[in-house]
Amino acid sequence: MVKGLAIFSWDQKIGPVLEVKYPETLELSPNLVNRIYMTHAYSQQFEKEEFIEIKFDNNTIYSYCDKARVKKVGYEILILIIDRDEKINRTKLEQHFLILGKTVFTKPKEQRKDYLLQNVNIVYKKPSAQKVVLLGRAGTGKTSIKKIIFEGYTPKDLLYNPLEPTRGITPSVYTWLDLKLGLFDTSGQELSDLLNPDNENEQRIAFENADILIYLLDYPLWVNKKETLYEDLNRIKEILQLSEEKTRLMVFLHKIDLIEPTERKETLTRIRSELMSSLRETPLYFTSIYPNLIYNLYNAFYEMLSTFTKETQFIKKMLDDMLSEHRNIMCFITNNNNTIIVQTMDKEFEVGLINHIHQMIAQLNQSVENMIEKDNIDHLIISTAHNLNIIMSNVNLSKFNLKNVVIISKSLSANKLILLTGKIRARLNSFYM
């Protein structure tokens, strides 16, 4: 993230003189300020403005000084401090920073502070932050879902090596494109205590400022303790109604892989009908971490998260527009954890193939990464027994947490897939760069 910006000048007798900084809590060490000044002063060329970039501790520092003005007014320097590992569009940030630098030093000295504080939004964009709370009884799979979606864990590993139970409330922070997501994982063993009307303090910690609350129930609990689940849901809705938060409730019915495949469709239809009479407009998703069914889990999360971030909305609309003239086609984009963040497909695409495709792509990911690293390949194309042509192409935007674009089609040839993928990559690059 952008940590702050400041203007200082250099007095030959007393050294650096700070004119303004934002925010007020920004810390500028003497070592940093001296290093910035010495870097600008090292060059004796005074004909033009100078932009430098330096690394200091865990930060990247942008610094601007109009050297053509030094002989007249001395060194006046604008600096911007960024977290070194932040995934942001640095090219655009540099451009905006230079515009701010060129403009602020045209102002009289007494007006600079007000001008800078009024225009910090040019470079100081606060990341969108959202809070999601995971609730559910013990053993329903809340932590496993978190690990798979946001930390890149392999579903198969978690199926055979279950995680230790969560105790208390465990907060984690993740980056999802331009979104900072605070995910609060709660203890299933302590859910009854958390929902107790007398436990206002814990409820405040868990629910305060929450944007989305996900209640996770699983199929075995539905079969054996249905009334308890209804009690939980009713209590959650009461808490949300009493609070002033605009929290959205979502419900996941998890572990649908435990339903016999031949009975799954009919069973889920019956459960949906029964639950929706109580949930009304609350979104309901049927999920599993079982490889053949995990698509529903990814779909639930990126549908939810796409409502938070403008980047995801842009990418989704871009894909929809670019694929609108094609038939029997599906496209998705993954992040650095190989998690699908955006997906689109036309209405003629065979939905029954989706889980098969996701499973196949998951198996290909590591192989493709190895080939890209060793052979510097641009893309991989395969044809399947289902008459599908599939292309996987690296978008080369890892610093923005974007990894691959994948297109699956029954109608497009390999050459047309390469052309379409190239257009998508070009649009993404023009947006980010």
Q: Can you give the pLDDT at residue 79?
A: 93
Write the DSSP assignment of 390-403 as a string of letters.
Answer: EEEEEEEEGGGTEE
Q: Can you give the pLDDT at residue 201?
A: 81
Question: Which amino acid makes up residue 66?
Answer: D
Write the DSSP assignment of 243-264 as a string of letters.
Answer: SS--PEEEEEEE-GGGS-HHHH
248 within 8 A of 213, measured Cβ to Cβ: yes
Q: Rounded to an integer, what distance in angstroms lies between the CA atom of residue 63 and that of residue 16?
A: 14
DSSP 8-state class, residue 188: S
Q: Can you give the pLDDT at residue 266?
A: 93
Domains of the chain: 2-122 (3.30.450), 130-308 (3.40.50.300), 317-432 (3.30.450.190)
CA 398, 124, 7, 76 dihedral sign is positive
DSSP E strand stretches across 57-113: 59-66, 76-83
Q: Which residue has the tokens 């329903």?
A: 140
Q: Can you give the pLDDT at residue 122?
A: 79
Give the alpha-carbon dihedral of 352, 357, 359, 365, to 10 degrees: -170
Residue whose C-alpha is closest to residue 57's, from 29, 79, 77: 29
Q: Can you give the pLDDT at residue 259?
A: 93
Q: Rounded to an integer, what distance in angstroms lies between the CA atom of residue 61 and that of residue 428?
A: 27
Q: Rounded to an integer, what distance in angstroms lies between the CA atom of residue 364 and that of residue 399?
A: 22
Q: Can you give the pLDDT at residue 164?
A: 66
Q: Can you give the pLDDT at residue 43?
A: 80
327 vs 343, 346, 389, CA distance in Å? 15, 6, 13
Q: pLDDT digit string (tens) for 48-72?
A: 889 999 998 888 999 999 998 888 8
Specify the pTM: 0.57
**Which portions of the chain are predicted below pLDDT 50?**
none
Q: pLDDT digit string (tens) for 376-406?
A: 677 888 888 778 899 988 888 877 778 889 9
Q: Rounded to an integer, what distance in angstroms lies between the CA atom of residue 237 and that of residue 241?
A: 6
Q: Rounded to an integer, what distance in angstroms lies between the CA atom of residue 232 and that of residue 234?
A: 6
Q: Can you give the pLDDT at residue 421?
A: 92
